[in-house]
Structure formats: structure tokens, C-alpha cells
Amino acid sequence: MQEWQDGGMKEPEAPKIEFPCDYPIKVLGRSGDGFESAVLSVVERHAAGFDKSTVSVKASSKGNFSSLTVVITATGRDQLEALHRDLLATGQVNMVI
């Protein structure tokens, strides 16, 4: 939602996140070919020791795609940006939410 300020429209600011915090990350990609292990390897590199019991995997209705959700302890914006970048760099990730 936009709001008026000084005679013009201004985009509202994103909510501030207080670090460290539990932060869920949803990763979408093609099923198979090591998708899950590739994602978890990158997550482990950026959030060492994350709770693996938080990992959930769901397949699409036709089984072509999977979504993997994991909760990490986020320590800062730099960590989240690097994690996002490295997940996409695997070539197996289509989207990170």
C-alpha cells in the first residue's frame, strides 16, 4: 500500500527485522537430481548447525517441482543476501522466498 507524503506518493518501508531471529526460507526447484542435498549444503554453509528438524519438503501436484522450507537463525541482512545468491547459483533453484 502506498501512502502520501510531501505532496507525492511514497512506498512504505519494509518492516525492520531484529537479528538474530528465527527466519523461515522457502526454496523452489525441480524435483530430483540432488535438489534437496544441494539446498541443504548451501544452507549449512551460511547457517551452520541449523535445526534439521525444521526442514519440510513438498512436491508439486505432478511431482516435477519441490519446495523445501527450512528455518535458520538469521544473524543479519548480509547473511540472508549471501544465502539467497548462493542458492540461486546452484542452478537447481528457481526461486527463494
Residue pLDDT, tens place only, 7-33: 566 666 766 889 999 999 999 999 988
Measure the CA–CA gap between 95 and 88, rounded to whole angstroms.
7
- The pLDDT tens digits of the residues spanning 43-85 come to 999 999 999 999 999 999 999 999 999 999 999 999 999 999 9
- Which CATH fold would you assign to the domain 15-96? Alpha-Beta Plaits (3.30.70)
Measure the CA–CA gap between 23 and 45, rounded to whole angstroms.
16
Estimate to the nearest angstrom the gap between the alpha carbon of 4 and the chain centroid.
Answer: 32
One DSSP character per residue, 38-55 reads: HHHHHHHHHSTT--GGG-
Q: Where are the alpha helices (DSSP H) in the chain?
A: 35-46, 77-89
